[in-house]
Amino acid sequence: MNKIIRTICSFTERPTENDVHELERWSRLFEDRGFVVQTKRICVPGSRIERPDWGVVDKTILKSHGTLSFDDARRRLEELSGDGGVCFNVELANSDVTTDHVAFLFDIIRSHPSMTFNFAYVFNNAISSPFFPSAQFEREGFTIGLQPTDMAEGCNTLEAWFENMETAWKEVVDTLSDEKYFLGIDSSIAPIFGGYGSLLHYIQSLGMSFNESILSDTYLKMTQFIKEKNPKPVGLCGLMLPCLEDFELADEYEKGNFPIERNVFLSLHSGLGIDTYPIGIDEDHEMVLNILRLVRGLSNKYRKPLSVRFVSDGAAEIGGRTHFHNEYLKDVIVRKLQMG
């Protein structure tokens, strides 16, 4: 079994060198037990008036301001983009979604397109998730997010994969049994890249096409398991469908098999929203507004955490190919958000 920790995230009021040392110590604990630790992260409270000193933080550590007010996000955009790509999100569950919110997204696309990867609108967001940009500070401590898709290698049934995940979760909890600041595991299924990093790759290895899987209960089984069997749950604990981070899902997008309607459908019953979904620089602003309002309405109706993260390279129009220069995003031909 490939035991991969996607991230260890420290939530701290103010980052110091001690936070960096603790991240290194926790990482070594897992590496000594045969885990691969991919990333280390720090999230601070977005509401702090006093700005954090990111200068003490190793440049390899990913950084987040957590949840910002919309007004604060607009005021601080230059600062956020100048910090080497600090992640943040804006909560809109209790706000009227307006053209101003759409305009802000397109302002980022025009001025700092790489920042679209670091920003999301969130609705009824879950606290303490280690996954960016949805991370939201609630109290000090640290959380773990794994890369469960790689644990599916060699598993011919969902049950075999689930057993591997449960074994890994228990090992994480055992490893951290003496750590009083350990907040828990976000058991979200977070696909990345191709091969066994891709959820679609595993679905197809079970003998299903992506189209066939949509009208099955496969994804419901996944989300039921990760919510019910996680020994110390925290954060989102849902199914992520990152359109361009899961490279085989990106292939389905290019074929026309992952339109925004299908993304929303899957998110409503099993997923966490619209994630790394490509958007053309000439996309209709009214359509984006409708999508944000729809996701907000569904999130509030079902009291379910959802988010929207559109990504752009700042140049690709609808029908053009992206050039993200981002190892985590697969370049695609951008499709119009509305089918037809």
Q: What does the pLDDT look like over 138-193, one tens digit per residue?
A: 999 999 999 999 999 999 999 999 999 999 999 999 999 999 999 999 999 999 99
- Residues shown for the chain: 340
Confidence of residue 291 (pLDDT cuts 50, 70, 90): very high
Q: Would you say residue 51 has pLDDT above 80?
A: no
pLDDT tier at 129 (50, 70, 90 boundaries)? very high
260 and 291 in contact (C-beta within 8 Å)?
A: yes
> Do the strands 182-186 and 141-146 form a parallel or antiparallel pair, or are they unpaired?
parallel
Contact 5, 35 (CB under 8 A): yes
CA distance 37 to 109: 32
Residue 264 has pLDDT above 60, yes or no: yes
- Element containing residue 278 per DSSP (H, E): strand 273-278
Burial class (CB in 10 A: 0-12, 13-18, 19+), 221: middle
Structure tokens at 217: 């209960």
Distinct helix (H) and strand (E) counts, the chain: 11, 9
- The predicted pLDDT at position 121 comes to 98
**Cβ distance 275 to 246 under 8 Å?**
no
pLDDT per residue as tens digits for the range 297-306: 999 999 999 9
Q: HSE (CB half, 13 Å, CA atoms) of 323?
A: 3
Taking the CB of residue 24, how many other CB atoms lie within 10 A of it?
A: 15
C-alpha of 11 from chain center: 17
CA angle, 7 as apex, 106 and 248 as ends, to 5°? 60
pLDDT in tens, 27-39: 999 999 999 999 9
Contact yes or no for 240/275 (Cβ under 8 A): yes
Q: How far from each other are the two terminal CA atoms of the chain, in whole angstroms?
A: 44
β-strand partners of 145: 7, 186
Burial class (CB in 10 A: 0-12, 13-18, 19+), 217: exposed
- Please tell me the number of Cα atoms within 13 Å of 167 on its side-chain side: 13
pLDDT of residue 7: 97
Return contacts of 213-220, CB within 8 angstroms, 24+ apart: 214/262, 214/265, 214/266, 218/158, 219/266, 219/269, 219/270, 219/271, 220/269, 220/270
**Is 70 exceeded by the pLDDT of residue 50?**
no
CA-CA-CA-CA torsion sign (7, 195, 159, 126) = positive
Q: φ, ψ for residue 187 (rounded to 5)?
A: -85, 20
| Mean of pLDDT values over 58-73 | 92
> Residues 103-109: contacts with CB within 8 Å, 24+ apart?
103/285, 104/70, 104/73, 104/74, 105/288, 105/310, 106/281, 106/285, 107/77, 108/77, 109/279, 109/281, 109/312, 109/314
**pTM over the 0.85 mark:** yes
